[in-house]
Amino acid sequence: MDTDLALVIGLVIAVFSVPAALSALSDGRAPRVAAFAMIAGGALVVWALTQSPGGYRIADIPDVFVRVVASFLR
């Protein structure tokens, strides 16, 4: 898997798991699936950060998103 793709997928999973966790907590349920999603997303982000030759900066993230989306649209 490409590190750019792993970074994007990990960030999307992590961001979408936050509302799921808040919803589960507000309903009085344990956020098991949301916690698993946060761990999986975080693991993908950490893997992408450690495997990328030059690393990523915060300013690089929008460019990475555009590159990944553009690769699927071509």
How do residues 25-72 score in pLDDT, each as one tens digit? 999 999 999 999 999 999 999 999 999 888 899 999 999 999 999 999
Look up the pTM and report it: 0.89
Distance (Å) of CA 53 to CA 4, 8, 13, 59, 61: 11, 17, 23, 16, 15
Number of structural domains found in the chain: 1
For residue 65, the enclosing domain spans: 3-73
| Alpha carbon distance 7, 20 (integer Å) | 20
Question: What is the predicted pLDDT for the residue at 34?
Answer: 95
Q: Is the dihedral of CA 67, 68, 71, 74 positive or negative?
A: negative
Reported as a pLDDT band with limits 50, 70 and 90, residue 74 is confident
Instruction: Name the amino acid, one letter, at 6.
Output: A
| Alpha carbon distance 37, 46 (integer Å) | 14
Question: What is the predicted pLDDT for the residue at 55?
Answer: 84
| Alpha carbon distance 66, 25 (integer Å) | 33
